[in-house]
Structure 1
Amino acid sequence: MGINNKKVVVLDFYAYEISSLICYLEEMAKKGWLLESISSMYAKFKKIEPKNIKYTIDIIGKISTYEVLDEESLKEYRDKKESEGWKFLYDYNNMQIFYSEYNNEEFLVTSKDQWKVKEIFKNSLFEVFIRMLPILFLAFNQYISIFRRDGIDIFIDNDRILGLLFVIVYLLIHLVDLVRVFKFKVSPYKISTSSIWIKFKSRVMALIFLMLFIYLIVSIIKLNFIDNRAGIVVLLGVIVIGATMAFVYYLANINNKNIKKNTTIASLLIVIVSIALIINNFIVENDSKNTNNSVDRKEHSLSLNDFNDELISDKDLFIDESSSFLASKIFYNAYGKNMQLSYELFESDYEWITKLNFNRVMKWFENQGIKYNEIKTNLPEDIKVLVNEKGSNYFLVSSTKMIELIGVEDIKDKEDFFNTVYEKIFTL
């Protein structure tokens, strides 16, 4: 993003990546951008003529926003560097950033004498942990959301699939950084000087934040905040995160030494939002189960009409449908003049998803002390049929579809009933 010869870029780096950061800054200078200010998540540049610029980053004291360095000692150190041909540019977390222009490749080489390996390692490890903490809460939220149910409902919700993808990508990036931090501790001066990893993860993080922002805006538009408490939780989350980012940006501009402290505060606030989402997962979703989300009269794969029956009234029909690009699920319950038809149908073009969901459902029933046994029928061999001990519920399962038939113990001709279900569900 550039305005009036200024450019602000997302820049995700840790202290252990000093060499890579220097390489990145020098590449930017060759493109005509000189560093103006920097934090652990963004950098601000100003437009210059493209030129060769050498950067060096020295660590004075501890890498900390809390330690106040002696101004006289700092001035003495900076004067010494300037006498060597360097110009002081910026102080970030007691990391002194200097630069100098040069016209040949034999100019000043960045010295690593000022590197404090133990200090860099501790700081980087702490930063990785702080950033991973909020996403671990979100991952835990995803975990309990998936495994406390009798099926893998995440596959039928595009929003949750996208959220899980964000969580996985975010964690993978930080796990790679975690490995690189320990690699730095073992061989601090052999760490890569390439800027590829910094640029890659910075772009990925920028994309994640952009898509997350768009998702939250869309969620606000879609949800009814008056009647839907889930919407209220999302709105509060947007307000808290937005206000936190604005607060951090404001303080970072009036006092650059507060950046790390503010990042910690922001992380803690995001944790609070994550906890709110977990509470929402237990409370709001449980309440929403009693809501008829999609009652209509459109034709379904299997309905009372297929059994020569019809509804007593519109109030006796309940349909709940969910779908994504991976799978779909329909819960259908209807009271007819001659019978009650109740079933849950799960479909996916991906066999592994159907198998995973089936195994999860069976595991859930097993934990509830409910046992299902496979039985023989006149259906094709690729259709597995299971029944519970009471004979009230049946499962018909293929490689891509599974349907749970609920409360069918009173149906006398079950073979004919199964054949109708097979024709309407599994032959299409």
Structure 2
Amino acid sequence: MKHKTKRVFWGFFSLDYKAIGIYLEEMAAKGWMLERVGRVMAKFRAIEPRRLKFYVDVFKDEDPLTPANTKESEEYRSLCQASGWTFITSQDYLQYFYSEDDDSVPIQTDEVLEQKIVETTLFKGEILNTSLILIVGIVALAMHFPVRHHHLLSFAGVAVTVLFPILFGAVLTSTVYSVTRVFKARKNIKRGLPLDKPTLKNAQKRIMAFNGIAMTIVSLIMVAFLVDAYFKPSSVIPIIGPVLGTIIGLGLRYVIKNKSTDKNSGIAYITLVVLAAFFSMAIVSSLLSNRPFDDSNRIDPVPEGYPLVTMMELIETSQQGSLAIREFNRGMSPLTPLHYDYLEVWDFEKERQGVRVRYYNTIHPLFAQMIFDGITEELTRGVKFRGNYYLTKTILSDEAMKSSWRMDHLALTEDRDELILQQGNKVVHLSGKVNFDDGQIKDIILNRLFMDNQ
């Protein structure tokens, strides 16, 4: 065979364990033998097409945090081996076996006992997993909505805003289905009826309907993060902690599942994962706290092709000075194709002065107004630190100035050191000791930053 191994998407529910056996028999007939099963993917190796019988059993003494090779599991697999079943691999409670003899006696011959095992293991695991996923989804949804103006400025922000409700809907539907199925199966057991045995075709439809949608959306969001990293590498810093914590956690879980034989290793795993999470957050906090901002002494070149005004065009001074900082950070998103943050700082004889220009060019005035409202609300609210808000500012509405500047919306801070303008699909946020009442400065801003709108 050209390919000796291959990986397939694995989206079966644990209660589909009967359908999984049928699926593995079909794969063996096509020349593929199961080698390993993970949370998302399953690995198969090439074999000569053979007719094999597979059995997926539920072993209550192994769970997501228990090592796969404990004394109890080894004894259990030895008994199955003596009955003619060859052990392949395990995934939490599910144990995978195959036999070359079509007449092999099933591992579980007592259907009542099997149903009892399923009730005490898979039901609890299924409910716990779906509940945790749903809780995480609800928390994430509450944190991201209502939509903030920052979400319109990046590919990841737009992708999460648009796609996350769809993902949450798929997760909610999957959760409702799983819980309903669990209670239905439990009801059958109490009535003395056999468990429903889903067909392989139905199980595969659910895989595509629930997991296929989720995997597609997660993949699109990851691509959006990569695009943002291209335009602004620092945008990946906030996700370093979660990613690093996940990698450490999965690594520890792999070691405990495959290398340990102590049944109590799960407690150590949980402790180490918690420590890894705190360690990861400490690393990210350190990176952010040591990251240079206004005192970075960066001197970026003045970019070409961007509508821009410089500090020396906006202030009047007779002092001699030297350029201390000039930073230009560009951004891009599907809803705001062009936006940037420009900071210019000069050292004069008696003081240091700076001007910051934030420019947003959206695809529609609706998004421009969302950005305008978001900026004004953010200035009014200030910065939250340890439950208190600091650096709050009073926002003024000057109708005469708005009319003079020919703006759709205009806001000015009480100290008149920040001006937010919105005209059509553009928003400009200027801050610094600028005389915004000066007619010449007004003309410079309008001609440079709103040229297309004039």
TM-score interval, smaller chain? 0.5 to 0.7
SS of the aligned residue for 1:360 comes to helix
Written as runs of structure 1 = structure 2, the 5 A alignment for 1:255-274 is 261=266, 268=274, 271-272=277-278
Quote the offset at 1:269 in angstroms: 6.2
- TM-score calculated relative to the size of structure 1: 0.66
Written as runs of structure 1 = structure 2, the 5 A alignment for 1:266-305 is 268=274, 271-272=277-278, 275-276=281-282, 279=285, 283-284=289-290, 287-288=292-293, 290-291=295-296, 295-299=300-304, 300-304=306-310
Instruction: After superposing the two structures, state which structure 1 stretch, 31-40 or 259-268, moved more.
Output: 259-268
SS of the aligned residue for 1:125 comes to helix
Written as runs of structure 1 = structure 2, the 5 A alignment for 1:242-257 is 245-246=250-251, 248-254=253-259
- CA RMSD between the two structures: 5.5
Number of aligned residues: 402
Q: 1:133 to 1:314 in 2, by over 3 A?
A: farther
Distance 1:307 1:369 in 2: 22
Q: Could you say which residue in structure 1 is the equivalent of 2:178?
A: 181
Is the 1:248–1:266 contact (alpha carbons within 8 Å) kept by the matching residues of 2?
no
Written as runs of structure 1 = structure 2, the 5 A alignment for 1:117-156 is 117-128=119-130, 152-153=149-150, 155-156=152-153
Q: 1:258 to 1:383 in 2, by over 3 A?
A: farther
Q: 1:57 to 1:412 in 2, by over 3 A?
A: closer
Gaps of 5+ in 2: 186-195, 382-391
Is the 2:420–2:428 contact (alpha carbons within 8 Å) kept by the matching residues of 1?
yes
Quote the offset at 1:122 in angstroms: 1.4
Quote the offset at 1:323 in angstroms: 0.6
Q: Match for 1:388 among 409, 413, 422?
A: 413
Written as runs of structure 1 = structure 2, the 5 A alignment for 1:51-62 is 51=50, 53=52, 55-61=54-60
Q: Could you say which residue in structure 1 is the equivalent of 2:426?
A: 401
Quote the offset at 1:403 in angstroms: 1.1
Is the 2:93–2:121 contact (alpha carbons within 8 Å) kept by the matching residues of 1?
no
Aligned partner letter, 1:417 = I
Distance 1:271 1:240 in 2: 5
Q: Match for 2:359 among 345, 349, 353?
A: 345
1:111-138: CA deviations, max 9, x gaps? Answer: 976242353121123345667899999x
Q: 1:391 to 1:361 in 2, by over 3 A?
A: same
Q: Could you say which residue in structure 1 is the equivalent of 2:384?
A: none
Aligned partner letter, 2:377 = K
Gaps of 5+ in 1: none
SS of the aligned residue for 1:422 comes to helix
Is the 2:20–2:56 contact (alpha carbons within 8 Å) kept by the matching residues of 1?
no
Q: Match for 1:315 among 297, 314, 323?
A: 323
Distance 2:403 2:411 in 1: 13
Quote the offset at 1:62 in angstroms: 5.2
Percent identical pairs in the alignment equals 15
Is the 1:134–1:270 contact (alpha carbons within 8 Å) kept by the matching residues of 2?
no
SS of the aligned residue for 2:302 comes to coil
Q: Match for 2:448 among 420, 424, 428?
A: 424
Q: Could you say which residue in structure 2 is the equivalent of 1:48?
A: 47
Distance 1:5 1:242 in 2: 28
SS of the aligned residue for 1:288 comes to coil
Distance 1:62 1:41 in 2: 23
Written as runs of structure 1 = structure 2, the 5 A alignment for 1:64-83 is 64=63, 65=66, 69=72
Distance 1:183 1:427 in 2: 60
Q: 1:101 to 1:330 in 2, by over 3 A?
A: same
Aligned partner letter, 1:33 = W
Distance 1:208 1:177 in 2: 16
Distance 2:133 2:271 in 1: 11
Distance 2:282 2:225 in 1: 18
1:123-154: CA deviations, max 9, x gaps? Answer: 123345667899999x59x869x99xxx8445
Q: 1:413 to 1:15 in 2, by over 3 A?
A: same
1:90-116: CA deviations, max 9, x gaps? Answer: 45444343445799xxxx9x9976242
Q: 1:253 to 1:365 in 2, by over 3 A?
A: closer
SS of the aligned residue for 1:349 comes to coil
Quote the offset at 1:68 in angstroms: 6.2
Is the 1:252–1:259 contact (alpha carbons within 8 Å) kept by the matching residues of 2?
no
Aligned partner letter, 1:354 = A
Quote the offset at 1:301 in angstroms: 1.9
Q: Could you say which residue in structure 2 is the equivalent of 1:360?
A: 374
Q: Could you say which residue in structure 2 is the equivalent of 1:28?
A: 27
Distance 1:356 1:411 in 2: 23
Quote the offset at 1:239 in angstroms: 7.0
1:35-57: CA deviations, max 9, x gaps? Answer: 23434454332322335555442
Q: 1:354 to 1:191 in 2, by over 3 A?
A: farther
Quote the offset at 1:336 in angstroms: 11
SS of the aligned residue for 2:211 comes to helix
Is the 1:397–1:403 contact (alpha carbons within 8 Å) kept by the matching residues of 2?
yes
Distance 1:20 1:399 in 2: 58
1:171-209: CA deviations, max 9, x gaps? Answer: 676555433431222334376742244467389759969
1:202-222: CA deviations, max 9, x gaps? Answer: 897599699979989x98xx9
Is the 2:409–2:421 contact (alpha carbons within 8 Å) kept by the matching residues of 1?
yes
Distance 2:270 2:216 in 1: 19
Q: 1:44 to 1:334 in 2, by over 3 A?
A: closer
Is the 1:13–1:40 contact (alpha carbons within 8 Å) kept by the matching residues of 2?
no
SS of the aligned residue for 2:123 comes to helix
SS of the aligned residue for 1:184 comes to helix
